[in-house]
Copies of this chain bind each other. A is one copy, B any other.
Amino acid sequence: MEKITRVGVFTSGGDSPGMNAAIRAVVRTALYKDKKVTGIYHGYQGMIDNTMFDMDSQSVSSIIQMGGTVLKTARCMEFKTTEGRAKAYEHVRTAGIDALVAIGGDGTFTGAEIFSREFNIPVMCIPGTIDNDLNGTDLTIGYDTANNTVIEAIDKIRDTAASHNRLFFIEVMGRDSGCIALNAGVAGGAEAILLPERETAIDELIDMLEQAADRKKSSMIVIVAEGDKNGGANNVARCVQEKVGYYDTKVSILGHLQRGGAPSSADRVLATRMGYAAVNELLKGNTRATVGVRGSEIVTTPLEEALSKKELKLNEDLVEIAKIMAL
């Protein structure tokens, strides 16, 4: 294997809080190892458009606390074509980049895997997505921050007057993954949590709410993952309202604010450790893999393995705990 002299770094797909901390760690670790660093704007699109620039230590000053990504991000259709990738590689090669660090989610990993194989360029991935739906790691960068954002919203809603029979529905992110809904639901003390991974019939939900109302609760909070089979918080609220009219239902749809905000301490440390590890792994000759965290250890997993199956992230114990806590 050739010696690495210049590392390219980019973020791709949906952004997540902590990506900047990862970029900073990649840049400073590479510089410390006497490598040069090229930043690539807008992910794979930037390779094709050749929007790249040389990064020094100062170029990542005071970004660790910022949400979003200073390298911007994009979804790129052209990179899915052989021609697109060829053009991208041409620019990468011309820039003198001989290894890549890709920060993003599933689609980012897929692109990285193909690109690395096609052009035999070393690539390490870093899992950055608020959804925590990636294989090869316990936690993805941004997930912790997103959970904190959601519980702040829940806490505020819980503050409001305990009028009788008021029912709040809060829709949170998670098209396929109920991680945020489940965690934030437990942390926010929700009375019910609707997850994409399992169907909850409206009648079943009404049963739960009526049991809760029987016990003691006058106001109740239901967390609905956007990917819930009933079609989102607006639909669920309408269905409940239609079936049992005595609730005053209120809906909040948090939307993209869950992607933003200053990253939490845990996300910044995780991102920093992962960025550091990604460069070191590349320099040790590891490639076509993703870094991840298992317990308190940083590990790597081949991309092929990470992409081959969806690991079940949903913590079944926590689903059970959520129910008991709502009693």
Distance in angstroms from A152 CB to nearest chain B CB is: 8
| A253 to B294 CA separation, bound complex (whole angstroms) | 35
- Knowing A156-B261, A159-B17, A260-B155, say if A32 contacts B324 (CB, 8 Å): yes
Residues of B within 8 A of A296 (CB): 138, 295, 315
Across-interface contacts of A252 in B (CB, < 8 A): 253-257
Chain B residue nearest to A156 (CB atoms) is B260
Q: For the complex, is A94 an interface residue (Cβ under 8 Å from B)?
A: no
Query: A144, B187: Cβ atoms under 8 Å?
Result: no
Known: A32-B324, A324-B29. A155 touches B255 (CB 8 A): no
Task: Give A62 to B326 CA distance when docked, in angstroms.
Answer: 11
A288 within 8 A of B: no
The B-contacting residues of A in range 52-74, CB under 8 angstroms, are 57-58, 61-62, 64-69, 72-74
The proximity string for A residues 41-55 relative to B, scoring 1 for CB distances below 8 Å and 0 otherwise, is 000000000000000
A273 touches B215 (CB 8 A): no
Given the known inter-chain contacts A161-B14, A216-B57, please indicate yes or no for A151 contacting B325, CB distance below 8 A. no
Q: Is the CB of B155 within 8 A of A65?
A: yes
Closest to A295 in B: B295
CB-CB < 8 A to A61: which residues of B? 216-217
Residues of B within 8 A of A187 (CB): 21, 64, 265-266, 268-269, 272
Which of B66, B159, B269 meets A259, CB within 8 Å? B159
Q: Report whether A155 and B325 are in contact in the complex, using a CB–CB cutoff of 8 Å.
A: no
A168 CA / B257 CA spacing, docked (Å): 10
Query: Chain B nearest CB: distance from A49 CB in Å?
Result: 12
A positions within 8 Å CB-CB of B:
11, 14-15, 17, 21, 24-25, 28-29, 31-32, 57-58, 61-62, 64-69, 72-75, 138, 144, 147-153, 155-164, 168, 183-184, 186-189, 215-217, 234, 250-262, 264-266, 268-269, 272-273, 276, 294-296, 315, 317-318, 321, 324-325, 327
Give 18 new A-B contacts, CB below 8 A, not counting A68-B161, A294-B295: A24-B325, A32-B324, A57-B215, A65-B158, A65-B188, A67-B160, A138-B295, A147-B265, A156-B259, A157-B256, A183-B265, A186-B272, A187-B268, A250-B255, A251-B253, A269-B318, A272-B321, A296-B315
Ranked nearest first, the 4 interchain pairs of A and B with the lowest CB-CB distance are A295-B295, A67-B159, A156-B260, A159-B260
